[in-house]
Chain A
Amino acid sequence: MGKIKLLQGNEACAEGALYAGCTFFAGYPITPSTEVAEYMARRLPQIGGVFLQMEDEIAAMAAVIGGALTGCKSLTATSGPGFSLKQENMGFAMLTEVPCVIVNVMRGGPSTGVPTGPGQSDIMQCKWGTHGDHPAICLTPAYVQEIFSETVRAFNLSEKYRTPVIIAYDEIVGHMRERIEISDPGVLPVVQRPRPACPPAEYLPYDDSKGDVPPMANFFEGYRYHVTGLNHGPDGFPVNASPRIHTDELRLIRKVDSNRADIVKFEEYLLEDAEVAVFAYGVSGRSAKTAVNQVRSEGVKAGLFRPLTIWPFPEEQVAGLSGRVRKIIVPELSLGQIIHEVDRCSKGRCGIEGIHRVDGDPITPAQIVARIKEVM
């Protein structure tokens, strides 16, 4: 039995990071993510790690990349406006294949928006926020316990595939407190990045001849190599030629795409005989579960699909679901984002209806119950 605590979502995120072996945090405080930084600021020095408050979010993301290159598992946490600022360097980390974890505690907005209210309107930004074709992994926990375990998983995926991983949850889930069990060491798997077996003189940092994820050397351990945001060859130096650019970008996408079975995670709740399904994540997923329980008690056949991995999108699962139900209802704290992904994967096999709300309050179970009854 691990340690039982009453923790905030943001605190559980920090605990998850520490469990995964995170030793470096760089960030810039912003509501509603600040508790992640506060917790790491307190805990990292106690375990010999480093906490840095940078001058802004751009620098914080750059510092995280630097920390990760030296071998530290590295974390930053932010919200909307800060997440926008981090995008360019996140793209750099994707192209240079630097593992790191970025937490986006979603609030309302564009711009400064509603700092103390929940939002889910950055969810497409989690996929397409930085320019160019790029791999994207984004996890969407909804319970404090899940934030802990999904943060561990985020680090694991990041290390395994050498790519940034985003954790996106809303203000409500980030600030709420629930009882959680912090697992004892060894209970949850903790993954380390693939390391080179060759001597430094023979090391090629982006040599993909033996697999899609090249071994990664830590700086200051004798291996020296070039890291650039330009498309590059196996030695890390710029290459501006066909076919390397094309094949290398394909490989970056393939790292995530061909490993969907390992990355995509979801909860299916009472879907076996469901006529109506609700597709929802984060706090909206919690509302949906309460709603589904309520209508089930009245004999209505409804179920819930709750993604814990939103990127890559659970395409196959939603496609299958759309062939089995009459309607999929998509409640989200945005004016319509993830509903388009559900629609794309459903290919017209069932009706899709959204419930959208951006006033700083969550979508209530009553709103979802009413819609389920309407469409039955």
Chain B
Amino acid sequence: MSGRYEIRFSGSGGQGLILAGVIFAEAAAIYDNKNAVQSQSYGPEARGGASKSEVIISDETIDFPKATSIDLMLALTQEACAKYYKDIKPDGTLLVDEDFVREIPKGSFKVISLPIIRTASEEIGKAFAANIVAIGTIAAITGRVSREAVEKAVLSRVPKGTEDLNKRALLAGYDLVKRRAN
């Protein structure tokens, strides 16, 4: 399965993580012309409860559509982090929200902690843009999709009238990673 890269977006139902997965997959599959599969898993609740969305990107055909050996996992809530981190591979990455995930599970994976939700609420002024901030951070960390592709995918999926806000949210995500690296 060389070339197969597995990403899991997790958090609470209603945080827009399924949409984040869809946008990321669309960036890869439509705008970057790679193979990508997006799938999701959620409970019967409309809001709340741990929710996850997965994206697999590969240069090869993707048969098994679910993540079992995760390269990068995002967790926006403590509950989702605890519930879903076990599939991260030993040299994978766990990306958590700095304020909402305080207890980091033990493992040999790399941990990156960033204020994703705070950035959305304070810099962008809308906490619900956290999913788009997260897309920016993941695109920057993984380098698996081009910036141009991500931007196109975001703009094609968000409601009309929110393009500017979402574009700023995406850039804020990229910046979070850049600032942390410096």
Question: Which A residues lie at the B interface, using CB under 8 A?
Answer: 4-6, 31, 115-117, 172-173, 175-179, 283, 286-287, 289-290, 293-294, 362, 364-366
Q: How many residues of B contact A (CB 8 A)?
A: 22
Q: Given that A116-B43, A177-B38 are contacting pairs, would A364 and B30 also be in contact in the complex, using a CB cutoff of 8 Å? A: no
**Given contact pairs A176-B37, A177-B25, A179-B36, a sample of 16 additional A-B residue pairs in the complex whose CB atoms are under 8 Å apart:** A6-B29, A117-B41, A176-B39, A178-B36, A178-B62, A179-B30, A286-B64, A287-B63, A289-B64, A290-B1, A290-B63, A290-B64, A293-B1, A293-B63, A364-B68, A365-B68
Residue of B22, B26, B39 with most chain A CB atoms under a 10 A cut-off: B39
Q: List, in ascending order, chain A residues with CB within 8 A of B1's CB.
A: 290, 293-294
Q: Is the CB of A6 within 8 A of B26?
A: yes
Interface status of B161 (Cβ within 8 A of chain A): no
A177 to B22 alpha-carbon distance, docked (Å): 8
- Interface residue from A4, A5, A286, A294 paired with B65 (Cβ < 8 Å): A286
Closest B residue by C-beta to A176:
B39
Q: Which residues of chain B have a CB within 8 Å of any CB of chain A? A: 1, 22, 25-26, 29-30, 35-44, 62-66, 68
Question: With A6-B26, A177-B25 in contact, do A364 and B38 touch (Cβ < 8 Å)?
Answer: no
- Are A175 and B63 within 8 A (Cβ)? no
Report yes or no: B64 in contact with A365, Cβ–Cβ below 8 A: yes
Do the beta carbons of B65 and A172 come within 8 Å of each other? yes
In the assembled complex, the CB of B5 is this many whole angstroms from the nearest CB of chain A, namely 15
**Within the complex, what minimum Cβ distance (angstroms) separates A77 from chain B?**
19
Q: Given that A175-B39, A176-B65 are known contacts, is A6 also in contact with B44, CB under 8 Å in the complex?
A: no
If the complex has contacts A116-B41, A177-B22, A294-B1, are A4 and B30 also in contact, measured as CB distance less than 8 A?
A: yes
- Rounded to whole Å, the gap between the CB of A321 and the closest CB of chain B is 20
Task: Kindly list chain A residues whose C-beta atoms are within 8 Å of the C-beta of B62.
Answer: 178
Tell me the minimal C-beta distance from B47 to chain A in angstroms.
Answer: 14
**A116 & B44 in contact (Cβ 8 Å cutoff):** yes
A-B contact pairs, 10 of them (CB 8 A): A6-B38, A116-B42, A116-B44, A175-B39, A177-B37, A283-B65, A287-B63, A290-B1, A293-B63, A362-B64
Most A Cβ at <10 Å: residue of B36, B41, B42, B64:
B64
Across the A-B interface, give the 6 residue pairs with the lowest CB-CB distance, nearest first.
A290-B64, A179-B29, A289-B63, A176-B39, A177-B38, A290-B63
Cα A177 to Cα B37 in complex, Å, equals: 6
